[in-house]
Amino acid sequence: MTVRVAVAGASGYAGGELLRLLLAHPEVEIGALTAGGNAGTPLGQHHPNLLPLADRVLTDTGPAELAGHDVVFLALPHGHSAAIAAALDERTVVVDCGADHRLNDPSAWTRWYGGEHPGTWPYGIPELPGARERLRGSTRIAVPGCFPTVSSLALAPALAAGLVEPDAVVVAVTGTSGAGRALKPHLLSAEVMGSAAVYGVGGAHRHTPELVQNLSAAAGTPVKVSFTPVLAPMSRGILATCSAPLADVVDTGAARRTYLDAYGDEPFVRVLPEGQWPQTSATLGANTVHLQLVVDPDAGRLVVVGAEDNLTKGTAGGAVQCMNLALGLPETTGLPTAGVAP
């Protein structure tokens, strides 16, 4: 089976990571590579690491360039995917790495992104309850945000099992690539190196409604989420510390059994051995989430720490994983579980 794939937004970080993974996918033939302002330039100017594609010239992003492919990945800013997807054949598998189709609630979309809600597509975290079945055979897929991927997987089993109250706190440290490739003063190396800074504090980050949506679905009841992202001096990776009050007396061993039952058969989610804590370096370039948990008896809280590469499992790897499911391919095809170290 040969799958012809196009990538829109190929000059950005997410687009580049998609292409890195697709180059290693045994069933994929890479077709159109498109960009906005970078159209007309060679891909190697933006991603010199992608040597096999370095001489390919980026074209404009539009339905005409993307038509005729089996799969189209949209690695575009929010608000740009819906119109392009609507112009593509319904049989084409369209995987949206942006925010346009993640939220179920139209009012939440309007509040956080503005404008008319573009509609909801099957949501791309296969490890969440029921998600894998909805993704199989789908021709429209919404890839989650990078923060909701690791944080939802960190807390969903505890909420689903009733181990904790529906009141979560998430503090997640991230690298600068999560903000995209556009030039922004606060992301200059002189501003970032040697410093850590919070942003989007007090429920102001756009991934908050996505976290609420995912965790409420897992709990079967509305979940409050306090989310604080922290920008750290690294290029990629997320380390999320997630906690919630215990619903009843439970020890760490019982909580671990809940997580091992939930993720024991998952190829990309690893509950680490006791005493070993996640670190972003261990997930670099891998389509994995590493988890560890502990009950804090004095605080009466469950604490779960998760690590991922925001560009791999948090975006592009998750997108390829969903493509595999949609096409009926083995879910793990072309996806690395070994990170790059040191």
Question: Distance between CA 87 and CA 73 in Å, rounded?
Answer: 14
DSSP string computed for 216-264:
HHHHTS--EEEEEEEE-SSSS-EEEEEEEEBSS---HHHHHHHHHHHHT
Asked if residue 229 lies in contact with residue 147, where contact means CB atoms within 8 angstroms, the answer is: yes
Match 């929010």 to its residue by tokens. Answer: 78
Biggest CA pair distance of the chain: 61
Q: Which of 163, 103, 164, 146 is nearest to 306 (CA)?
A: 146
Active-site positions read: 146
Q: 327 near 72, Cβ under 8 Å?
A: no
- Tokens standing for residue 160: 């689903």
